[in-house]
Amino acid sequence: MTGQQPSPVLAVDGLTKDYPGVRAVDNVSFSVEQSTVHCLVGENGAGKSTLVKMLTGALRPTSGSMRVGGSPYEPSNPSDARAGGIATLFQELHVVDELTVQENLTLGMERSRFGFLVKSDLDDRVVRTLAAIEPSIDPSARVSTLSVAQKQIVEIARAASSGASVIIMDEPTAALSEREVERLFAVIRRLREADVTVIYISHKLDEIFKLGDAVTVLRDGKHIATKKLSEVAGRAELIEMMIGRSVLQTYAPRSTVTDETVLAAEGLTSELLKDVSFHINRGEIVGFYGLVGAGKTEIARALFGADRVSGSIRFKGQSVGRSPKGAIASGIALVPEERRTQGLFTSLSIRRNISVMNTRRLSSGGVFRSSDERAAAVEYVQKLSIATDSIEKYAEKLSGGNQQKVVLAKCLFADADLLLLDEPTRGVDVGAKTEIYDIIRQLADAGTSVAVFSSELEEVLGICDRIFLLFSGSVQAEVTNGPDVDPASILNVVTGGGAHAVQ
C-alpha cells in the first residue's frame, strides 16, 4: 500500500512500574521513529531511569507493553534487550583498559574452536564499524591509552556492530570536554545516517536542541509530551513542561542564622570542579543544587577531605580538607549519598553504628563504657524517632528512611558543628522526608551549620536559606531563598542556560 506510515522502531504503550507505596512510572505511552535522535528529559525523579531499566530488561514492567520494529518486545534481562536490538551506554564506562580496542569490540562475542579463540568475520565487521564511526581510533591500541570520549566511541561501535537498531545513551557528555562533546555529536549524527536510532538522555538542554529530532518529557512518572524539537518554542517551553506546576515551597525565613562565617572555601578546583568559592554561616542551611555532573558530591567530598582539590578550605579559622579523620576531629561530618555502602555498617546494630564515629567519647583510661554507648543509642533513637523495637537491630533490617536517620544520628554523636548532607532524602518515603527536614531545621536552629547537596529542586527550596546553583563543575549563581524565587529560572541556570537573574 502507498502512503502508509512506517512502524516506529520503538513503541511504548501504557508502561507502568509500581514499587511498594510508589508508582515510579505511570501509564507512559510514546513512540520513537527510526533513524532519529530521540531525547528523553525530565527533572530528577521524573521516572527516566526506571523507564530505561524496563527498556533494557533490567526491570519488568508492572503493566503495559513494548514493541520493537512492530514486534512484541518483552525483555527479561539485558541480554534479551541486546538480542532484541536495544543497546545501552551508561554513564559508567564498560570497557577493559588492559585489552586492545578490537578485543573490547568483540568482548563476549568471541568465536572459539576446541577452547581456542579463532579469527572470524566478526573481527572484520567490528573493525569496519569502528572505521565508519571514528577512523582515527587504532583497533590495535590499548584502551587505557584512549580518552574518555574515545572509550565511549568504542562502546558505541560495539553496540552498532552487534546489530543494535536502538542505542540508549544516558548522560553521555557528563565527563567530556567541550571539544570531546562535539566529536561525540558527530559520531551520533553518523549513526543516524546509518539508520541507527539514538535515545539521548541529558539534563543539558542546549544539547537537546542542538542534537535532537524529537523529545519526550516525563514528570512525576507520567508522560507529559512527545514533540518534534522543531515544534518546541525553546528552553522556556521545555522547562515549563518539565516543571508543569508551582514547586511546593514550605520555606520560612529563619531568625537563628548568624553573620559568623564558620566555613570559607576559595578556588576549589579539580578534574571536575572549576574555581568554586563560597562561605557558610553558623546556624545556616545552605543548598548546593545541580543535576548530573554538576559537582555536588565532589564539593561535599572535598569539604570532608575525601577528595584532594586545589584551593583552600577553612573551618572555624583552621585549614581543613586534608582527610576525613581530620574533618571529623574538626567537627565536620558527612552523610554520604550512598548510605548503605558508605554511611552504614549494615551488619552492625543501631547501637554500634551510632557510636562508631566518636568512640573516644565513650572511653576513659582505655576502658570502653558499654552502658554509655547503650544510653547514647537510646537517646538518639528517641531524638530522631528511629522506628525500631531494639537498639540491637541490625541496620540492614531497617527501612531506607530509618537507615538515613541512623546515619544522621552517627554524625550528630560525633559532635559535628557542620553537617554535610549529600542527597539526604534519596530513596525514602514522604513521611520520612518530612521528619528528616524537621531534624535539619532543629539542628540549624540550635546553631549547627548544614550544607545540603541535592538534585531535588523542591528540597532545596523548602529548607535552605541560601542556594548555590551548579552547572558543569562551577557555581553559576547564588540565590537567597524567599517567596520571589522563580523555580523555572533556577532550572534554566542548572541546565546550562547561564547565570541570568533567578529572582
How does pLDDT run across 23-55, given as a tens digit for each residue? 889 999 999 999 999 999 987 678 888 999 999
Nine-digit cell at 440? 535539619
In this prediction, residue 117 carries a pLDDT of 47
Q: Which residues on neighbouring strands pair with residue 294, listed in sequence order? A: none
Question: Which residue do the cell numbers 545501552 mark?
Answer: 88
Where is 95: in which H helix or E strand? none
Q: pTM of the prediction?
A: 0.69
In this prediction, residue 483 carries a pLDDT of 86
In this prediction, residue 429 carries a pLDDT of 60
Residue 374 has pLDDT above 80, yes or no: yes
In this prediction, residue 6 carries a pLDDT of 62
Residue 431 has pLDDT above 80, yes or no: no
Kindly report the average pLDDT of the chain as a whole number. 85
71: phi > 0 → left, psi -120 to 50 → alpha, else beta; which? beta
Residues 6+ away with beta carbon under 8 Å from 134: 150, 153, 157, 183, 187
Residues 376/433, Cβ–Cβ less than 8 Å: no
In this prediction, residue 108 carries a pLDDT of 58
Q: What is the DSSP letter of 360?
A: G
Percent of the chain with pLDDT over 90: 39
Q: What is d(CA 28, CA 191) in angstroms, rounded to the nearest whole number?
A: 27
> pLDDT for 292-343, tens place per residue?
778 999 999 999 999 999 999 999 999 987 899 899 889 998 988 777 777 7
Q: Which domains does the chain have, with CATH numbers?
A: 10-243 (3.40.50.300), 248-331+416-503 (3.40.50.300), 347-413 (no CATH)
In this prediction, residue 123 carries a pLDDT of 64
Q: What is d(CA 245, CA 319) in angstroms, rounded to the nearest whole number?
A: 44
Residues 241/224, Cβ–Cβ less than 8 Å: yes
Of the CA atoms within 13 Å of residue 106, those in its CB half-sphere come to 20
- Quick one: which of 210, 87, 95, 206 has its CA closest to 148? 95
pLDDT band at 450 (very low <50, low <70, confident <90, very high): very high
pLDDT band at 249 (very low <50, low <70, confident <90, very high): low
> pLDDT for 194-217, tens place per residue?
899 999 998 888 889 999 999 999
In this prediction, residue 111 carries a pLDDT of 54
- Quick one: which of 74, 467, 71 has its CA closest to 290? 467
pLDDT band at 407 (very low <50, low <70, confident <90, very high): confident
**How many angstroms separate the Cα of 293 from the Cα of each of 112, 147, 492?**
41, 18, 16
Residue 88 has pLDDT above 60, yes or no: yes
Residues 64/28, Cβ–Cβ less than 8 Å: yes
pLDDT band at 2 (very low <50, low <70, confident <90, very high): very low
3-state SS of 203-258 is CCHHHHHHHCCEEEEEECCEEEEEEEHHHCCHHHHHHHHHHCCCCCCCCCCCCCCC
Q: What is d(CA 167, CA 173) in angstroms, rounded to the nearest whole number?
A: 15
- Quick one: which of 75, 32, 82, 30 has its CA closest to 54? 75
